[in-house]
Amino acid sequence: MGKEVTENDKKLAQHCVNCKICQYARKKQNGVIYSLVKFGEKFCPFCRAYEKVHGKKAYETEERNSK
């Protein structure tokens, strides 16, 4: 695979992690904001880096082990 994660990718992905809009989309999983993030991730360099670093889309849920 030629998809090596660089330090720059990690920095860009961190912006997505801290983005209030993406955080909302990951938490709520529906609505207008979710739809915008889902559509916009094709164009957003931060969302694309998030997917490359974390192996999932910027709008996918954050897994939590709260049992």
For the chain, the structural domain boundaries read 7-54
Q: How confident is the model at residue 63 (pLDDT cuts 50, 70, 90)?
A: low
- Indicate the pTM of the whole model: 0.81
Q: What would the two tokens of residue 29 be?
A: 């999983």
Give the 3-state DSSP-derived string for 4-45, with helices as H, strands as E and coil as C.
CCCHHHHHHHHHHHHCHHHHHHHHHCCHHHHHHHHHHCCCCH
Mean pLDDT in residue range 35-62: 92
Confidence of residue 2 (pLDDT cuts 50, 70, 90): low
- Dihedral angle sign, alpha carbons of residues 41, 47, 53, 56: negative
